[in-house]
Each structure stands twice: as structure tokens, then as C-alpha cells.
Amino acid sequence: MSADPEDEISEEKFLEAVAALSTKEPALSQLGAAILAALHFGIAKDSRTFSRKFDIAHALALREITALSDDLGFLQVVGRNSRTQRTEYVFSENALELLSRDGIAHDKLQ
């Protein structure tokens, strides 16, 4: 489902995807939509990488990842480093459904 890492993702395309996701799923925050879009585009698959690339506090990313996995069910945590708290995640079935709903994946994320 992720885009080819070799492909360059423009800022405009990324922001359009974030807007599309947060519009289609009102419970999704802008940060949550950005985490999902970054995972889809192959930009970040863990909390530390996301925090570094988007210049956001790691604690904020962790809090949102927890909400995306526990509260909204869009992510599945597949690994966590106890020392650094780096959290690795993948899409859940709910996220895959959201991405395909109304053509978001095709219109904005591919």
C-alpha cells in the first residue's frame, strides 16, 4: 500500500492527502492524518523518524500514535524500544478501509 520510496513526494501532494484523510474521517486530527499519510508514502514507519522529519516533539507523536492505535484503531503497533520509546507501526484494517474509502487512496495518496 505504501508508495515507492524512490518516488519524490511533493509537499503539496502530502498536504492534500492529509486534508483528504481528515475530511473523510472527522475523528482524525491533522497530526493523525499526517502520520497515516507519512506511513502510506513511505516517509516514516516509526515515531522517531516521523518526529525528526516533521520537526515535532517525540512525545506528541507517541501520544497521537497511541490514539491512532488504541482509540481509533487505524494503526497496529508492531514494535517498541523500551529505552528510546521508538514505536513502529503498520496500518490496521480500519486504516486500509479509510484509505480506500471514496477513492482517497487513488485520488490523493497515489
The answer to whether 43 and 84 have CB atoms below 8 angstroms apart is: no
- The CATH number that applies at residue 19 is 1.10.10.10
Task: Assess contact for 109 and 99: CB atoms under 8 A.
Answer: yes
Domain that holds residue 34: 11-107
Asked whether residue 3 is domain-assigned, the answer is no
Looking at residue 105, what is its pLDDT?
57
Q: Which residues contact 36 (CB under 8 A, 6 or more apart)?
A: 21, 28, 68, 74, 75, 91, 95, 98, 99
Could you list the mean pLDDT of each consecutive 10-residue stretch along the chain, which spans 110 residues? 58 93 93 96 96 97 97 96 96 91 54
Please indicate, yes or no, if residue 6 is contained in any of the structural domains.
no
When divided into structural domains, the chain yields a total of: 1
